[in-house]
């Protein structure tokens, strides 16, 4: 197992453990054990546990931002781009459930996110801005601040990814998990689409 393999395994293990337990409760001992690395590996590769946390957050937000940028560039109409963004966020969170957990832990902490996370957040806001601007030019969307749209999108997506899996089966006992996921995704796409839609009486 080479150096870069260890670094990758540490990031993967840390993402899982920070995601499930939060920064404080996840110990370096657990992370290195889960990554099959020696106890000094975190210090060697990242210096401190805080730096490892920042690297995991950075990686998660980078992937999220990249997915959103790609989806924002696709779609033939603006509403289609919005549905594509929601679909890609939900798909990503299904594949990588540690990511919404990490985001939730970051939001619930009292500390502002590190600079690198803010940089990815700005990328997401910029991608949403492009979609909103294109939609306004086409007369499909109204004037709305992309920062607020981004928050509405991320909050509901993270929330439904976690709370939906947790209490969805209680609230919708007859529904399969994939049917539930589909219902939730189309609801969020609908809410965001309606938030953006131009008013009927606006020229």
* Listed ranges 4-12, 49-57, 84-92, 158-166: which one lies at the site for a copy of itself (CB under 8 A): 158-166
Residues 85-104 within binding reach of a copy of itself (CB under 8 A): 101, 104
Closer CB to a copy of itself, residue 134 or residue 198?
198
Check binding of 195 to a copy of itself (CB under 8 A): yes
Q: Which of 154, 181, 185, 189 forms a contact with a copy of itself (CB under 8 A)?
A: 154
Please work out the total of residues on this chain that contact a copy of itself, with binding judged by CB under 8 A: 46
d(CA 63, CA 116): 13
55, 57, 181, 184: which one binds a copy of itself (CB under 8 A): 184
Q: Are 42 and 32 in contact (CB under 8 A)?
A: yes
Q: In degrees rounded to 5, what are phi and psi of residue 34?
A: -65, -30
Nearer to a copy of itself, 20 or 43 (CB): 20
**42 closest CA partner among 2, 6, 18:** 6
Distance spanning both ends of the chain, measured CA to CA: 63
How far apart CA 38 and CA 17 sit, in angstroms, is 17
């Amino acid at each position: 197992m080479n150096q870069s393999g260890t670094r990758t395994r540490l990031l993967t293990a840390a993402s899982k453990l920070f995601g499930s337990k939060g920064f404080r409760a996840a110990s370096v001992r657990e992370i290195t054990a889960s990554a099959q690395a020696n106890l000094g590996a975190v210090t060697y590769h990242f210096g401190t546990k805080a730096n490892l946390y920042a690297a995991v957050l950075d990686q998660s937000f980078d992937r999220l931002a990249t997915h959103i940028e790609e989806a924002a560039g696709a779609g033939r109409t603006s509403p289609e781009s919005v549905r594509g963004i929601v679909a890609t966020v939900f798909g990503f969170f299904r594949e990588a459930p540690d990511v919404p957990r990490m985001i939730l832990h970051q939001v619930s902490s009292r500390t502002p996110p590190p600079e690198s996370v803010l940089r990815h957040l700005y990328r997401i806001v910029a991608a949403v801005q492009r979609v909103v601007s294109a939609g306004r030019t086409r007369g499909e969307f109204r004037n709305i601040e992309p920062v607020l749209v981004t928050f509405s999108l991320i909050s509901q997506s993270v929330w439904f990814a976690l709370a939906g899996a947790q209490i969805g089966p209680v609230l919708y006992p007859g529904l399969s998990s994939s049917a539930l996921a589909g219902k939730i995704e189309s609801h969020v796409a609908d809410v965001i689409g309606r938030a953006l839609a131009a008013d009927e009486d606006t020229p």
